[in-house]
Chain A
Amino acid sequence: MPTGAFATLLYKEALRFWKVGFQTVAAPVLTSLLYLLIFSHALAAHVRVYDSVSYTSFLVPGLIMMSLLQNAFANTSSSLIQSKVTGNIIFVLLPPLSYREFFAAYVLAAMLRGLMVGLGVWLGTLWFVELNYAHPLWIVSFALLGGAILAALGVIAGIWADKFDQLAGFQNFIIMPLTFLSGVFYSIHSLPAFWQGVSHVNPVFYMIDGFRFGFFGLSDVSPWISLAIVGSCFILLSTLTLLMLARGYKLRG
């Protein structure tokens, strides 16, 4: 057992998903590998990405990032809504935890799950897909920032939603479109101008593009621009989440 309120909450949140790791880590890894299998076979001949990169290789970083993001979001949002609906949220509201500790513990545990899933996808593809690691620091930066952003968004969604179907709506109508329409499966340059424009207002596009730059040294936009946008998103969402928590929005009636 760790010591300190913050460390305990972090540990509890990690233990919570780890205890059902088959569903929370193994299953999403498998799903991503299936995507890879199907898309690389079905589309390899049709989609042109970068000249020097095979479609399958191109696909892998996108899938890693997508699964990382979705699982970071899923962890905070599902943990919070479950605790709210069952009422056991009071166990973490009664102790002397500050809202900052609360935020940090939930977000870090969700990042951990996202990173574990991402790592799992990477390991699963290692033996049959050739990857470069042109700029490892970019890889790590975008993985951490992306995970933190979606984890914070999950905190917001989990606190905002009163019922599971509201959360499912958030997931299906916001998170899924944002992650799918972000250039995971294609380079946005292959899209018509209109959809390129749409992609450019999707922050997830920059997470994936920047992350992919770390592998191939190639990207649709400059990684610095992506970093600036993703970094701003992180600051914005964290601030919003912290404000919600500080005011006790929906948690402390």
Chain B
Amino acid sequence: MTPAIRVQQVTKRYGALQALGGVDLEVARGEFFGLLGPNGAGKTTLISALAGLVRASSGRLEVMGHDVVADYRAARRGLGVVPQELVFDPFFTVRETLDLQSGYFGIRDNGGWIDEILDELDLTAKANVNMRALSGGMKRRVLVAQALVHRPPVIVLDEPTAGVDVELRQGLWQFVRRLNRDGHTIVLTTHYLEEAESLCGRIAMLKAGRVVALDTTANLLARSSAHALRLRLGAGSVLPDELAPRVLSSEGGSLSLRFDRFDEIGAMLDRLRAAGVAIDDMEIGKPDLEQVFVDVMRTA
């Protein structure tokens, strides 16, 4: 079976700027895939190339086995994109917007599905309201709805939760999870790494237009700087020198010390006791994606 998304050796230049420097990527059908990277890494550019909004300078991209240039009709039918920018057409109401979007995909009588999406996104009460009269978060939801009108097998969400309140964020993730369970392939970009960690099965990290990490979320978490022992030291206590290389971070009186295996903790505590360090509080933290991300970006 062809993958949901195939990106081969894709480059994109904007004048002197190399926005994408040879990206290779495959997303299998049914995956929940994360595309992470700092501002300007090229995430939106890659998504735009996939959607045919920009032309790649070289390389090829496919959606559900369809080349996005040569076979653009099939490729675009297979893809729903929630854009990063909050765009809307002020001439129309929410329902008109969705009816028009259905029509652009050649779908008539889409009312049932539109009602369902509106309901899922808590927009039913706003269905006949002009787009101008919606709050920012509501406009974002309409963008999500627009991306779904043609029931695309592949759904790409470019920072869908920026500026969205907690309740909706959770509702949105529930909905997107359900779509994923129903067989839709999901690609997500976000700067909220906890979101990516809890949702995505696999993650690509982009830096300056290149993929610098590509693995399952579990492997990424496992491969990086392991676990952290978080300590709050008593007043006047100083960390013994031999533990200094383990320091991940230190803020105020709190320290994070890395360890790879749990049996290292005993020895670490022994050192502290031997040095006469008082411990006010102690906590064992699991590695999180944020730490992994920071490590990857630093070393890449």
- Given A12-B100, A252-B52: A3 in contact with B106 (beta carbons within 8 A): yes
B39 → chain A closest CB, angstroms: 19
Most buried by B among A11, A12, A98: A12
Give the Cβ gap from B110 to chain A, nearest Cβ, in Å: 9
Q: List the A side residues contacting B105 at CB < 8 Å.
A: 5, 95-96
Also in contact, A16 and B91, with CB within 8 A (given A96-B76, A253-B53): yes
Q: Which residues of A contact B48 (CB under 8 A)?
A: 253
Kindly list chain A residues whose C-beta atoms are within 8 Å of the C-beta of B72: 96
Identify the closest chain A residue to B74 (Cβ). A96
B58-97 at interface with A (beta carbon < 8 Å): 72-74, 76-77, 79, 81, 83, 85, 87-92, 96
CA–CA, A12 and B53, complex, Å: 21
Instruction: Tell me the smallest distance from the CB of A136 to a CB of chain B, in Å.
Output: 35
* A8 in the interface (beta carbon within 8 A): yes
In the complex, which residues of chain A have a beta carbon less than 8 angstroms from the beta carbon of B285?
A: none
Bound CA–CA A43/B289 (angstroms): 79
The 8 A CB mask of A143-181 against B (1 = contact, 0 = none) is 000000000000000000000000000000000000000
* List of A residues within 8 angstroms of B101 by Cβ: 91, 95
Q: CB distance B103 to A94 under 8 Å?
A: no
Alpha-carbon distance between A172 and B96 when the two chains are bound, in angstroms: 34
Q: Is residue A217 contacting chain B, with contact meaning CB distance below 8 A? A: no
Taking the closest CB of chain A, its distance from the CB of B279, in whole angstroms, is 54
Nearest CB of B to A22, in Å? 14
The residue from B73, B85, B103 contacting A4, defined by CB atoms under 8 A apart: B103
Query: Which of A1, A88, A98, A252 is B88 in contact with, Cβ under 8 Å?
Result: A88
User: Which of under 10, 10 to 19, 20 to 34, or 35 or more describes the interface residues of A?
Assistant: 20 to 34
Please, how many residues of chain B have a CB less than 8 angstroms from a CB on the other chain? 32
Are B100 and A8 closer than 8 Å at their CB atoms?
yes
- Contact: A8 with B89, CB < 8 Å? no
* Nearest opposing residue in chain A for B52, CB measure: A252
Instruction: State whether B53 touches A93 (Cβ < 8 A).
Output: yes
- The answer to whether A5 touches B89 (Cβ under 8 A) is no
Contacts of B100 in A (CB 8 A): 8, 11-12, 91
Nearest B residue to A3, CB-CB: B108
CB-based contact A94/B81 at 8 Å:
yes
Contact of A86 among B73, B90, B103 (CB under 8 A): B90
Q: Which residue of A lies closest to B109 (CB)?
A: A1
Docked Cα-Cα span, A90 to B101, in Å, equals 11
Residue from B52, B85, B90, B103 within 8 A of A93 (CB atoms): B52
CB of A86 within 8 A of CB of B106, answer no
Which of B14, B99, B106 is close to A5, meaning CB atoms less than 8 Å apart?
B106
Closest to B83 in A: A90
Residues of chain A with a CB closer than 8 A to B14's CB: 253
In the assembled complex, the Cα of A3 lies from the Cα of B14 at a distance in Å of 38
The answer, yes or no, to whether B104 is at the interface (CB within 8 Å) is yes
- With an 8 A cutoff between CB atoms, is B275 at the interface? no
The chain B residue with its CB closest to the CB of A86 is B87
Nearest residue (CB) in B for A8 is: B103
Interface 0/1 of A196-235, CB less than 8 Å to B: 0000000000000000000000000000000000000000
Q: B96-129 CB contact bits vs A (8 Å, 1 = yes)?
A: 1001110111101000000000000000000000
A252 to B69, CA, bound (A): 12
**Bound form: Cα–Cα A43–B81 in Å:** 59
Cross-chain contact B89 with A91 (CB below 8 angstroms): yes
Contact B91 A15 (CB under 8 A): yes
Which of chain A's residues has its CB closest to B87's CB?
Answer: A87
A4 to B146 CA separation, bound complex (whole angstroms): 17
> In the bound complex, how far is the Cα of B132 from the Cα of A88, in angstroms?
13
Interface string of A5-45 (1 = CB under 8 A from B): 10111011001100110000000000000000000000000
Query: Which residues of the partner chain B approach A92 to less than 8 Å between Cβ atoms?
Result: 104
Task: Name B77's contact: one of A88, A96, A248, A253 (CB within 8 Å).
Answer: A96
A245 nearest CB across to chain B (Å): 13
Q: What are 26 A-B pairs at a CB distance below 8 A? A: A1-B99, A1-B103, A5-B103, A5-B104, A9-B103, A12-B103, A15-B91, A15-B96, A86-B87, A87-B87, A90-B53, A90-B83, A93-B51, A93-B53, A94-B53, A95-B104, A96-B73, A96-B77, A96-B104, A98-B73, A248-B55, A252-B52, A252-B55, A253-B14, A253-B48, A253-B53
- Interface residues of B, Cβ cutoff 8 Å to A: 14, 48, 51-55, 72-74, 76-77, 79, 81, 83, 85, 87-92, 96, 99-101, 103-106, 108, 146
* Chain A residues within CB distance 8 Å of chain B: 1-5, 7-9, 11-12, 15-16, 19-20, 83, 86-88, 90-98, 248, 252-253
Q: A16-B91, A96-B106 are in contact. List 17 more A-B contacts (CB 8 A).
A: A8-B100, A8-B103, A9-B103, A11-B103, A19-B91, A86-B88, A87-B85, A87-B87, A90-B53, A90-B87, A94-B76, A94-B79, A96-B74, A96-B77, A96-B104, A253-B14, A253-B53
